[in-house]
Amino acid sequence: MIRGLAAVVAGLVAWSIVAVVVNLAFRAAWPGYAEVEPSMRFTLAMMFARLGLGALSSVCGGIVAARVAKGSELPVRTLGIVLVAMFVPIHYGLWDRFPVWYHLTFLFSLLPLTLVGASLAPRVDRSARLDTLRTNVL
């Protein structure tokens, strides 16, 4: 249970870090992005970029959660559900600032992309790792 909770928290932290870093990169590298961000008057390209940011964050969150969960799928699913639960009220509050397709794309992609990330997490067989260590030491 502790590992599962840690996996969800680690996934949320990873999601947040990726989102913040990529958003900072958008501000620094994209003329006009930082200017329109406070008013959220994004161009179509900016909205697609933000959806990409959310997608990347979800995949990375899923990878981290899967690594911490060590094969348990429940924490990864829980992470995806928590992300949806966190963002529904935020997007409800922003509903009139973005097109409906933007909200729906973002919200409906959170869980599946988190699961995709989990499927991409490298699987390390503990016994194979121990055999490798024994071989290298001997």
Tell me how far apart the alpha carbons of residues 86 and 59 are, in angstroms, rounded to a whole number: 17
pLDDT at residue 138, as a whole number: 55
- pTM for the structure as a whole: 0.86
**Contacts with 89 (C-beta within 8 Å, 6 or more apart), sequence order:** none
Q: Which pair of structure tokens corresponds to residue 114?
A: 């988190």
pLDDT at residue 33, as a whole number: 97
Q: Which runs of consecutive H residues, i.e. helices, occur in 30-137?
A: 33-36, 44-69, 73-93, 100-120, 126-137
| Cα of 36 vs its chain's centroid, Å | 24
DSSP secondary structure code for residue 124 in this structure:
-
Task: Report domain extents, the chain.
Answer: 2-137
Other Cβ atoms closer than 10 A to 80: 25
**Contacts with 2 (C-beta within 8 Å, 6 or more apart), sequence order:** none
Tens place of pLDDT per residue across the chain (138 aa): 899 999 999 999 999 999 999 999 999 999 999 999 999 999 999 999 999 999 999 999 999 999 999 988 999 999 999 999 999 999 999 999 999 999 999 999 999 999 999 999 987 555 545 455 455 555
Evaluate whether 19 touches 53 at the Cβ level (below 8 Å): yes
Q: What is the CA radius of gyration of the chain?
A: 18
